[in-house]
Amino acid sequence: MIKFLIYDGSFDGFLSVVFKVYDERLSKIRILREAQYDHAHTLFDEKEVVQTNVTHAKRVWKTLKQKCSHHGLRLIYKAYLSEIAGSEESMLIFIQKQLKASSPISQNYSDPDILRLSKVVKMVDREKHRLDAFVRFRQTKEGVYFAVISPDFNVLPLNISHFKHRYADQKWIIYDLKRKYGIYYDLVRVEIITFKFDPGALSPNVGYAEEEMQFEALWKNYFKSTNITSRKNTRLHHQHVPKRYWKYLIEKRP
């Protein structure tokens, strides 16, 4: 019988599951986040809620650090951020294979499990890069540059370094509407923040600086003038900017 291990959705939580699997020599398991459990599974399976244990998590991570290349560690972390159901099992398989192997295996693309994991990570990377590109800040009345997003994967942690290096002299917030948290740079460091109100409801007239609409209008205008109609290629356009991102993009808004 398959046993379901349920964890709280944190990275430490996942590592605690790995600890348990090794500690109790478990096999035939599925790993799920709390939020994923209800709708997916029958009453007949066995289930156990694994408490997040930071000490256990640290021990697992330490072992992985000794066995994995940097590439391999990123592979695990990014696959975790994908939040795709089932990726925990792929991560576990990778970890098990890696711990048995004598050298790093994260680039062994002839192994179907690793190839599958790399494909997930590629999707995460792509989403991260799209956010670097498609985030659009608006200046609030308080002078903070503010952007809301709702990415397919939980990539915000991966974006911190990029934005911190780029916008070192302005305060900014990027807020994930789906996961209800944001990152805030206060000119010194980046912190994780949450809001009590719904920042998606901020409208152009409330909260934002007056000149904001002017700059957006200028940008829209620029975007229009830079197009060459005799080269129009809608399919290519959609391929580069999938429709689900249009909501962020001032230039694509009517």
Interaction site with another protein (CB under 8 A): 105, 107-112, 115, 129, 132-139, 145, 147, 162, 165-170, 187, 211, 214-215, 217-219, 221-223, 225-237, 239-241, 249-252
Least spacing, CB of residue 4 vs another protein, in Å = 30
How far is C-alpha 55 from the geometric centre of its chain's CA atoms? 25
All residues at 6 or more sequence positions from 102 whose CB lies less than 8 Å from its CB, including other chains: none
Least spacing, CB of residue 192 vs another protein, in Å = 20
Based on CB atoms, which residue is closest to another protein, 4 or 219? Answer: 219
Based on CB atoms, which residue is closest to another protein, 61 or 172? Answer: 172
Least spacing, CB of residue 133 vs another protein, in Å = 5
Based on CB atoms, which residue is closest to another protein, 38 or 210? Answer: 210
CA distance 5 to 34: 9
All residues at 6 or more sequence positions from 134 whose CB lies less than 8 Å from its CB, including other chains: 149, 241, 245, 248, 249
User: Strands across the sheet with 145-149, in order?
Assistant: 138-139, 145-149, 172-176, 181-185, 190-193
Based on CB atoms, which residue is closest to another protein, 80 or 146? Answer: 146
Least spacing, CB of residue 90 vs another protein, in Å = 15
CA distance 182 to 196: 12
CA distance 22 to 57: 12
3-class DSSP state of 219:
helix
Based on CB atoms, which residue is closest to another protein, 134 or 181? Answer: 134
Least spacing, CB of residue 134 vs another protein, in Å = 7
Tokens of 46: 């066995």
Based on CB atoms, which residue is closest to another protein, 26 or 209? Answer: 209
Q: How many CB atoms lie within 10 A of CB 143?
A: 9
Least spacing, CB of residue 198 vs another protein, in Å = 22
Least spacing, CB of residue 149 vs another protein, in Å = 11
All residues at 6 or more sequence positions from 162 whose CB lies less than 8 Å from its CB, including other chains: 132
Based on CB atoms, which residue is closest to another protein, 31 or 114? Answer: 114
Q: Which residues pair with 185 in a beta bridge?
A: 172, 190
Q: Do 104 and 98 form a contact (C-beta atoms < 8 A)?
A: yes
